[in-house]
Amino acid sequence: MKNIFLLLLALIGLAPIYAQSTLQGIVKDGTNGEALMGAKITLVGTDKRCLSDENGAYILNGITKGKNTLEVKASSFNVYQLVDFPIGDAETKTLDITMEPADVVKGPVVVTRKVKKDGNIELLRVQFNNEVVSNGISGEDIRKAPDSKVSDVLKRISGASIQDNKFVVIRGLSDRYNFALLNGAPLPSSESDRKAFSFDIFPSNILNSITVYKTASPSMPGEFAGGVININTNDAPEKPLTSVGFGLGFNTLATLKNFASSGDGSMDWFGLGAGARALPSGLPESAEYSAQTVQERAEWAKKTNYNWSVKNRKALPYSSLQLTNGNTFTLKNKHSWGYLAAYSYQINQSFALNTRREFEESSTGVVQRMELVDSVFTQNVLNTGMLNFKYSFSPKSNIQFKNLYSINSEDRVNVRKGVREMDNDPRQWEKATNFWYTENKALSSQLLGNHDNDVWKINWNLGYSNVNRVIPALRRVVHRKYSSTEDDSTEQYVAVIQNNGTIPTAAGNMFWSDAQEAIYSAIYDFERSYTLDSLKVNLKFGGMQQYRNRDFVARNFGFSKYNGGGVNFNDSLLLYSPSSIFNNENLGLMSNGMGG
């Protein structure tokens, strides 16, 4: 009896399993009646689901009796849903499904792309929308080129060429006919004797773009006939940026070969050698100095402790270092601020061999009068720092604060050897050394804003720039002898020392100069667009104010023979070498009572 009861319970438990039903059918495309493969069929609220095969067929097993909801999905088709359809006990039900294509809204497709501000596309867009003729180069192309300075980059712009590796010539017009801008603010002249800017002051790795405007416009300065050169520095990056770069270069004429230098200052490596070559502290002004006695002047001469002979060493390879760090941060009010800090250092040592010849036409034909061979050793240092900030209120409104400080120095030593008066007998043989150090310092800051509310465009720029050019202790030492041949041992080289004065060809002549120019500027532009019928009109007005202040100071000194007043000059000093002729013991009244 117990066995019969247990068997009855087992059969009752299995009854629901054998009572389950099946749903099957074919899924079709409503537009052409073709079978639809890959449609997803789901019995809502259960785990029953499947995909239609290549013939559109589907089958769902194990469905319980009652009302169910069926859902069918397929790509590019509307969702099919059958709610509360009944199915019986142990029933196999066939249900074919027709899918209708999803509604497609036809219209223009808009593809947006964020253009890089230093890319070629942005540069072409600006040139296309300009009301003036312009050419330029983008930061994208600048980074691909091996150029190290702005002057090198300018060579790549159509219609522009470079003179003396620093001054730009546009459409054949020299540097004084061009106008330079940095981030839209005017740059002062870097030269003491003319209006010109030396573009080797800035490195190329700070550049966002360079644009050269070749025709006039009311929105640009009118102080040019060749072109306006606008240098744009990099903005704060939108993403975190950190980069370190180091480069080496090899000059086959100079690197690891003998190199002559002045050896004046320990800060020459940083481009700050002017301090070691400065005038003696407390030196009187010109009028007061002229009233001093010869002995008092001799005491001042002893304080000019400069090297008069070259220091020989091996030339180092070209070296460069670039450091960059920047980022942009988003604030809670959806404003953002960013910064970009960059540092660049370059040092280059080069050598050039120049031969100077002079010819003269005479009754017997063309004769050579002079041949001088110059060995020119040059060390160039470029030391630059940049710090830029940007605060954005929206994608169309921002304020920027850009700062750039650059030091560019050139230490040039010219060792000359040759002969003059070759058509005479005896000839004039010459040995000379010239020390020429130049230090340029440029500081430029701009506070600028760009605002666009879709009605008005307002751009403004407050700028300050200062360029300081110093030539400290430009000096030369000259020795000559007169003989038919240079190897004539009966004649010796004698220093060319003047009796009184500062003639340029004399030994011991020294020159100092300090030129400084500062510019304060304010630029503001307003623009509004109107549409008259189908014609778009832009109304633009603005202004520019600038204040310039320029100072130039120069002094010239030279060693002279100490004689007169019963004192005779010691002529044997003229036979001394450059390393000892101007030593303190040889200046003024010497210990033996003779003049130095």
Least confident range from 328-337, 350-359, 409-418, 556-565: namely 556-565
Residue 239 in any domain: the answer is: no
Q: Which residue has the higher pLDDT, 501 or 433?
A: 433
Angstrom distances, CA of residue 320 to CA of 161, 190, 342, 420: 25, 24, 13, 42
Query: Domain of 150: which CATH number?
Result: 2.170.130.10
Q: Does pLDDT of 397 surpass 60?
A: yes
- Rounded mean pLDDT of the chain? 87
Question: What does DSSP say about strands 21-29 and 92-94: parallel, antiparallel, or unpaired?
Answer: parallel
* CA end-to-end distance (rounded Å), the chain: 147
Looking at the fold, whether 446 and 565 belong to one and the same domain comes out as yes
Per DSSP (E only), the strands in 275-317 are 311-314
pLDDT tens per residue across span 253-312 = 899 999 999 887 889 999 999 988 998 888 899 889 888 888 888 888 888 888 888 999
pLDDT tens per residue across span 60-98 = 888 888 888 889 999 888 999 888 888 888 888 888 999
Q: Does pLDDT of 416 surpass 70?
A: yes
Distance from C-alpha of 129 to C-alpha of 452, rounded to nearest angstrom: 17
**Would residue 489 be called left, alpha or beta, if left means φ above 0 and alpha means ψ between -120 and 50 degrees?**
alpha
Task: Supply the pLDDT for residue 438.
Answer: 95
Task: Supply the pLDDT for residue 319.
Answer: 94
Looking at the fold, whether 173 and 288 belong to one and the same domain comes out as no
Which pair of structure tokens corresponds to residue 386? 């940049």
Distance from C-alpha of 254 to C-alpha of 267, rounded to nearest angstrom: 22
Which pair of structure tokens corresponds to residue 433? 């050394």
Residue 400 in any domain: the answer is: yes
Residue 4 in any domain: the answer is: no
572-590: b (≥16 Cβ within 10 Å) or e: ebbeeebeebbeeebbbeb
Task: Supply the pLDDT for residue 45.
Answer: 85
Residue 6 in any domain: the answer is: no
Q: Does pLDDT of 122 surpass 50?
A: yes
Residue 379 in any domain: the answer is: yes
Contacts of 584 (CB under 8 A, 6+ apart): 302, 305
Looking at the fold, whether 418 and 281 belong to one and the same domain comes out as yes
What's the CA angle centered on 298, arms 295 and 303, to 5 degrees?
140
Percent of the chain with pLDDT over 70: 93
Range of the structural domain that residue 398 is part of: 258-586
pTM of the model: 0.77
Residue range 361-368: average pLDDT?
83
Residues 521 and 546 sit within 8 Å (Cβ to Cβ) = yes
Query: Domain of 44: which CATH number?
Result: 2.60.40.1120
Residue 249 in any domain: the answer is: no
Tell me the pLDDT band of 386, cut-offs 50, 70 and 90: very high
Residues 145 and 169 sit within 8 Å (Cβ to Cβ) = no
Least confident range from 209-223, 334-348, 410-424, 466-480: namely 209-223
Element (H, E) at 128: helix 120-129
Residues 99 and 80 sit within 8 Å (Cβ to Cβ) = yes
Element (H, E) at 533: none
Least confident range from 12-26, 122-136, 178-192, 333-347: namely 12-26
Which pair of structure tokens corresponds to residue 261? 């230098």
Which pair of structure tokens corresponds to residue 569? 């000059």
Q: Does pLDDT of 506 surpass 90?
A: no
Distance from C-alpha of 560 to C-alpha of 495, rounded to nearest angstrom: 11
**Would residue 422 be called left, alpha or beta, if left means φ above 0 and alpha means ψ between -120 and 50 degrees?**
alpha
Contacts of 91 (CB under 8 A, 6+ apart): 21, 22, 65
Residue range 387-413: average pLDDT?
94
Distance from C-alpha of 447 to C-alpha of 156, rounded to nearest angstrom: 29
Task: Supply the pLDDT for residue 353.
Answer: 95
Q: List, as one string, the DSSP characters of 365-385.
A: EEEEEEEEEEEEEEEEEEEEE
- Domain tally for the chain? 3
Looking at the fold, whether 226 and 276 belong to one and the same domain comes out as no
Q: In angstroms, how far is CA 85 from the centroid of its own chain?
A: 75
User: 425 in helix, strand or coil?
Assistant: coil
Element (H, E) at 328: strand 318-330
Which pair of structure tokens corresponds to residue 299? 């005491």
Question: What does DSSP say about strands 227-233 and 178-182: parallel, antiparallel, or unpaired?
Answer: parallel
Tell me the pLDDT band of 115, cut-offs 50, 70 and 90: low
Last residue of a domain, one of 68, 99, 130: 99
Task: Supply the pLDDT for residue 318.
Answer: 94
Contacts of 204 (CB under 8 A, 6+ apart): 142, 145, 147, 148, 149, 150, 152, 153
Looking at the fold, whether 32 and 152 belong to one and the same domain comes out as no
Looking at the fold, whether 286 and 385 belong to one and the same domain comes out as yes
Task: Supply the pLDDT for residue 15.
Answer: 43
Looking at the fold, whether 320 and 421 belong to one and the same domain comes out as yes
Q: List, as one string, the DSSP characters of 145-184.
A: S---BHHHHHTTSTTEEEETTTEEEETTB-GGGEEEEETT
Q: List, as one string, the DSSP characters of 496-508.
A: --BSSS--TTSTT
- Of 63-67, 238-242, 339-343, 356-360, highest mean pLDDT: 339-343
Residue 497 in any domain: the answer is: yes
pLDDT tens per residue across span 221-267 = 888 888 899 999 999 998 999 999 999 999 998 999 999 998 878 89
Residue 139 in any domain: the answer is: yes
User: 250 in helix, strand or coil?
Assistant: coil
Question: What does DSSP say about strands 336-362 and 318-330: parallel, antiparallel, or unpaired?
Answer: antiparallel
Looking at the fold, whether 129 and 94 belong to one and the same domain comes out as no
Task: Supply the pLDDT for residue 10.
Answer: 39
Looking at the fold, whether 25 and 135 belong to one and the same domain comes out as no
Distance from C-alpha of 412 to C-alpha of 349, rounded to nearest angstrom: 10
Looking at the fold, whether 434 and 311 belong to one and the same domain comes out as yes
Q: Does pLDDT of 8 surpass 50?
A: no
Distance from C-alpha of 327 to C-alpha of 313, rounded to nearest angstrom: 43
Q: Does pLDDT of 214 surpass 90?
A: no
- Of 112-126, 156-170, 432-446, 549-563, highest mean pLDDT: 432-446
**Would residue 116 be called left, alpha or beta, if left means φ above 0 and alpha means ψ between -120 and 50 degrees?**
beta
Looking at the fold, whether 219 and 317 belong to one and the same domain comes out as no
CA torsion angle for 575, 581, 584, 590 (degrees, to 10)?
20
Residue range 328-337: average pLDDT?
91
Residues 189 and 197 sit within 8 Å (Cβ to Cβ) = yes
Residues 512 and 306 sit within 8 Å (Cβ to Cβ) = no
Q: Which residue has the higher pLDDT, 385 or 177?
A: 385
Three-class secondary structure assignment of 79-133: CEEEEEEEECCCCEEECCEEECECCCCCCCCCCCCCCCCCCHHHHHHHHHHCCCC
User: 196 in helix, strand or coil?
Assistant: coil
Q: Does pLDDT of 140 surpass 90?
A: no
Residue with tokens 């509310």: 453
Residue with tokens 């060579």: 155
Distance from C-alpha of 415 to C-alpha of 434, rounded to nearest angstrom: 7
The CA R_g of the chain, rounded to the nearest whole Å, is 42
Residues 320 and 298 sit within 8 Å (Cβ to Cβ) = no
User: 54 in helix, strand or coil?
Assistant: coil
Task: Supply the pLDDT for residue 354.
Answer: 95
Looking at the fold, whether 209 and 158 belong to one and the same domain comes out as yes
Omega before 426 within 30 of 0, i.e. cis: yes
Residue with tokens 């605002």: 451
